[in-house]
């Protein structure tokens, strides 16, 4: 006959088992939801293998100290001549012309006819007005996207970051850029930090190879400028389930980000890094990434 002591042990054991089952079920739901949110595209884009054969010069093969400004035609031609792919930044002028510049503000890179830093943001000027400025203290002008395409002519592949600051759901920079790309004969892909830009391509032009840019925002953005509900999910690629990127481009300094690693190891998604600045960094980056964007040195081909 079972005594009270043994009976209490069985009841305790049963309750303990139920409690553990709930924990495991909850953990499974959380893990499954997390993997669902970060899951990128599972397709293998037809450009992927060819894109992986190149190393990419960040903003062209520039040298700001020696008369070859970043994102200039001279820097792009230099990269082409050396056989490097090119990473560049596409924005939209006030009158809807795609032009090339990294910063939204002009004061760092643009100079007026008297050599003064230009104030304001690029999209506040027409392209004709932007064209009147010089890049740093050189004679190089701010190029249009069309000029870059005409210069490169498919000789090397392009990685184009679409710069999206304003919350215009129509994503005009995407629409205008793709009009030019439709007439371009060469390898290319597009990327953006803004998931809405990546989503635009998934929705309107799914044939284009698209990528999600991201960073460790908790460390790279000032605390007072952070929006946790936006930056934290973006840091951990929680919008991938909507945008379905063909690749993830991440800050090389934070390659250990769990979501980034899972995208490559579990989902076999192409991994891109930015921006490698030394031969030593290049050697290490190639262990963790499929495509490397570099600046400040020449890694060879």
- Catalytic sites, residue numbers: 58, 102
Rounded CA-CA distance 224/78 in Å is: 40
Phi-psi region of 204 (alpha: psi -120 to 50; beta: other; left: phi over 0): alpha
Task: Say which residue the tokens 């005409």 belong to.
Answer: 150
CA trace torsion 203, 60, 131, 102 (10° rounding): 60
Using the structure block, give the residue that is written with the tokens 């104030």: 119
Q: How far apart are CA 269 and CA 122, in angstroms?
A: 34
Name the packing angle between helices 172-181 and 195-204 (round to 10°).
Answer: 50
Please name the residues in contact with 288: beta carbons below 8 A apart, sequence gap of 6 or more.
Answer: 255, 261, 264, 271, 273
Residue with tokens 């995208």: 263
- Eight-class DSSP state of 105: B
């Amino acid at each position: 006959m079972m005594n009270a002591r043994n009976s209490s042990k069985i009841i305790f054991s049963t309750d303990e088992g139920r409690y553990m089952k709930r924990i495991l079920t909850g953990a499974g739901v959380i893990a499954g939801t997390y993997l669902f949110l970060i899951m990128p595209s599972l397709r293998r884009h037809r450009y992927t293998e060819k894109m992986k054969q190149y190393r990419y010069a960040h903003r062209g093969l520039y040298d700001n100290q020696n008369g070859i400004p970043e994102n200039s035609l001279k820097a792009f031609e230099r990269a082409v001549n050396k056989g490097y792919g090119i990473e560049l930044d596409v924005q939209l002028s006030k009158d809807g012309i795609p032009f090339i510049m990294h910063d939204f503000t002009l004061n760092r890179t643009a100079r007026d006819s008297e050599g003064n830093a230009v104030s304001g943001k690029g999209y506040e000027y027409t392209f004709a007005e932007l064209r009147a400025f010089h890049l740093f203290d050189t004679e190089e002008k701010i190029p249009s996207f069309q000029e870059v395409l005409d210069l490169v002519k498919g000789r090397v592949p392009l990685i184009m970051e679409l710069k999206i600051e304003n919350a215009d759901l129509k994503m005009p920079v995407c629409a205008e850029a793709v009009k030019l790309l439709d007439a371009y004969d060469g390898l290319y892909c597009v990327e953006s930090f803004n998931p809405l830009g990546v989503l635009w391509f998934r929705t309107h032009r799914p044939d284009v190879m698209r990528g999600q840019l991201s960073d460790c925002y908790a460390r790279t953005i000032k605390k007072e400028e952070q929006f946790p509900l936006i930056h934290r999910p973006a840091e951990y690629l929680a919008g991938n389930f909507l945008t379905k990127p063909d690749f993830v481009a991440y800050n090389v300094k934070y390659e250990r980000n769990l979501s980034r690693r899972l995208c490559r190891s579990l989902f076999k998604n192409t991994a891109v890094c930015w921006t490698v600045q030394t031969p030593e960094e290049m050697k290490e980056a190639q262990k963790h990434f499929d495509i490397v964007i570099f600046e400040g040195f020449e890694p060879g081909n």
